[in-house]
A = this chain, B = another copy of it.
Amino acid sequence: MTSASTSNVISSERVEGTNVYNQSGDKLGSIDDLMIDKMSGQVRYAVLEFGGFLGMGTDRYPLPWNVLKYDTTLDGYVVPLDKAKLEGAPRYAQSDAPAYTPEYDKDLSSYYGVDW
């Protein structure tokens, strides 16, 4: 899959599992999944997997795709969000994924200030 780096596209299998860092270079977690608009094919959210302390399972943070910036040095994505913003961000438990209804979509857009 190294060939993908020389092109304008990247494979979903490559994105899944990629590390995510904050602006200080601390690892936040990794991408677990992508949420794609069924009609347009637009990736709306990259779902950050985070935590998993003491075998309690991990939390999922849906991050708007355009929040993620790829950093070639880190070989991962950087999210320009401070700790407080991320700590207050919408999340769900691995075992309790929401339906991603239009309402949930709206909550996320609002939190991150994304205008679809």
Copies in the complex: 2
Given A9-B100, A11-B34, 15 additional A-B pairs, CB 8 A: A3-B97, A7-B100, A7-B102, A7-B104, A8-B37, A9-B35, A9-B37, A9-B45, A12-B16, A12-B35, A13-B16, A15-B36, A41-B43, A42-B42, A42-B43
- A6 sits at the interface (CB 8 A): yes
Measured between C-beta atoms, what is the minimum distance from A78 to chain B in Å? 14
Measured between C-beta atoms, what is the minimum distance from A64 to chain B in Å? 9
Measured between C-beta atoms, what is the minimum distance from A63 to chain B in Å? 11
Mostly helix, strand, loop or mixed at chain A's interface?
A: mixed
Cα A10 to Cα B12 in complex, Å, equals 13
Are B8 and A39 neighbours in the complex by a CB distance under 8 Å? yes
Residues of A that sit less than 8 Å from B by CB: 1, 3-4, 6-13, 15-16, 33-45, 47, 65-66, 70, 97-102, 104-105
